[in-house]
Copies of this chain bind each other. A is one copy, B any other.
Amino acid sequence: MVVPIPEGGVQVELVCGLLLWFGATCQGGPGPAQRDALMREEASRQIGGRLALTAAEQRLDARLHQLKEREMAAPSFPPAVHFFKAKLLIQRSPIFGLLQKMPKGGALHIHSSTLVSVDWLVKNVTYRPRCYICFTWDRSIRFLFSDRQPFPRWDCFHWQLLETLRAKMGDATDFDKSLIRNLTLFTEDPDAAYPSQDIVWEKFEKAFIVASGLITHAPVLRDYIYQGLEELYQDNIMYLELRSGLSRTYELDGSIHDKVWSLKTFQEVAQRFVGDHPDFLGARVIITVHRALSVADVKAAVKEAMQMQRDFPHVVAGFDLVGREDSGRTLWYFKEALLLPADMGRVLPYFFHAGETDEEGTDVDENILDALLFNTTRIGHGYALAHHPLAKELSRKGNVAVELCPISNQVLKLVSDLRNHPAAVLMSEGHPMVISSDDPSLFGTTGLSYDFYQAFVGIGGLKANLATLKELALNSIRYSSLPPPLKQTGLAMWQKKWDTFISAGFKELNQKGTRLI
CB distance from A351 to the nearest CB of B (A): 13
CB distance from A430 to the nearest CB of B (A): 8
Residue A251 is within 8 A (CB to CB) of chain B in the complex: no
Contact B462 A347 (CB under 8 A): no
Chain B contacts for A72, CB-based, 8 A: 359, 362
Chain B contacts for A297, CB-based, 8 A: none
- Interface residues in A143-193 (C-beta closer than 8 Å to B): none
Contact B373 A30 (CB under 8 A): yes
Copies in the complex: 2
- What string of 1s and 0s marks CB contacts (under 8 Å) between A1-22 and chain B? 1111111111110110010000
Contact A4 B360 (CB under 8 A): no
Q: How far is B159's CA from A159's CA once the two chains are assembled, in angstroms?
A: 77
Interface hit among A35-43, A122-130, A500-508, A509-517: A35-43
Q: How far is B459's CA from A463's CA once the two chains are assembled, in angstroms?
A: 26
Given A342-B29, A361-B461: A347 in contact with B5 (beta carbons within 8 A): yes
Chain B contacts for A41, CB-based, 8 A: 390
Interface hit among A133-141, A200-208, A229-237, A415-423: A415-423
Chain B contacts for A29, CB-based, 8 A: 339, 342-343
CB distance from A308 to the nearest CB of B (A): 11
Given A1-B314, A18-B398, A358-B419: A461 in contact with B6 (beta carbons within 8 A): no
- Identify which of B274, B349, B360 contacts A460 (C-beta below 8 A): B360
16 A–B pairs (Cβ distance < 8 Å), ordered by A: A6-B347, A8-B345, A10-B347, A11-B346, A11-B347, A15-B342, A15-B373, A18-B398, A30-B374, A360-B460, A361-B461, A361-B462, A361-B463, A387-B428, A389-B429, A420-B422
Give 4 new A-B contacts, CB below 8 A, not counting A3-B317, A4-B313, A18-B372: A1-B270, A11-B348, A39-B366, A361-B463
